[in-house]
Amino acid sequence: MLRGFKSHYAGLIASFSHLALLAVAIQHGNQPETAFFVGLIGFISLFAWASSFHRMRLIADTPTSRISSAAQGYVELHGRAVLDEDNLIRSPVSGISCVWYRFRIFQRQGNKWLLVGRGVSDSIFQIADGSGQCFIDPDHAEVIGAERRVTTDGQYRRVEELLFGHSVYALGEFSTQGGAGSQLNLKEDVASLLAEWKRDRTALHERFDLDGNGEIDLQEWELARRAAVREVEKQHREIRVQNGTHIMRAPRDGRLFILSNHSPHRLRKQYLCWSVWHLLIVLGSVVAVIWLLN
């Protein structure tokens, strides 16, 4: 939960820290100390620029895939949520139907608002793009563009973020369970089926003890093995012609997992603006430090 929250507001946090450092620098008035704080502003913006630029390039370089033909691995999807009772959840703060929520509750104590409660949904939901459907597991997702609502009631302030289903962008690890891409092992499945037949010796003998001597000889066991192979091959064919279940979740290698109500184009533009803004601050701080020290 914290990973998504911090990365989503990284640009704003950096901007507020700039204002605070600038205020401290102005108060000191001493040129070397002012240069130090201005340099610190540039250092913070350098990291913020790298983060924004990385996200912008990642979104720009990952083409949007169709669910039905998406490759296994790190992909980008864009569709709509499946809006039915099994797919929608309700925010515990406002009761509004959505596919994902996050909330924080603050209590006034004197002149301060203290955090007294927080929560985030972990319910899996489905999206569709016209070619197929995909389950989304939002755990550890960085959620961008969720609608933010703030309500104040007496001593309590409730802040909630809601992700609706009219447009859902997802960037993460895509996998398909079952269907044509199923990983099936003929040898292991045949051995498992033969072991199952062995446990029911009466049925095994009725089926394969051709000479009726109460024993399964090598020739009869070979017939049983061939029958098991045919049965397993039939089961595998039936599995592969079925539609697989697609799911997207947080990448196991730690790469970004993004969910948003924004389109890929809008996300690219948003991160491009943040990266340009922080790059200008970096360049400006370098010029200012050189000027202050000389």
Per-residue confidence in pLDDT tens, the chain, 294 aa: 444 444 444 554 455 455 555 555 556 556 777 777 777 778 888 888 888 898 899 898 999 999 988 888 999 999 999 887 777 899 999 999 999 999 999 999 888 889 999 999 989 999 999 888 999 999 999 998 889 999 998 889 999 999 988 889 999 999 987 655 566 788 888 899 889 988 888 888 888 888 888 888 888 888 888 989 998 888 877 766 666 789 999 999 888 999 999 988 899 998 899 889 889 888 888 888 888 777
Tokens 């269907």 correspond to: 179
What's the CA angle centered on 72, arms 239 and 192, to 5 degrees?
A: 35
Write out the DSSP string of 43-100.
HHHHHHHHHHHHHHHHHHHSPBPPGGGPPSEEEEEEEEE--STTT-EE-TTT--EESE
Q: Tell if the pTM clears 0.75, that is, is over it.
A: no
Q: Which of 113, 123, 125, 122 is nearest to 159 (CA)?
A: 113
Selection from 169, 177, 173 nearest residue 64 by Cα: 169
The tokens describing 98, both together, are 């959505």
3-class DSSP assignment, residue 136:
strand
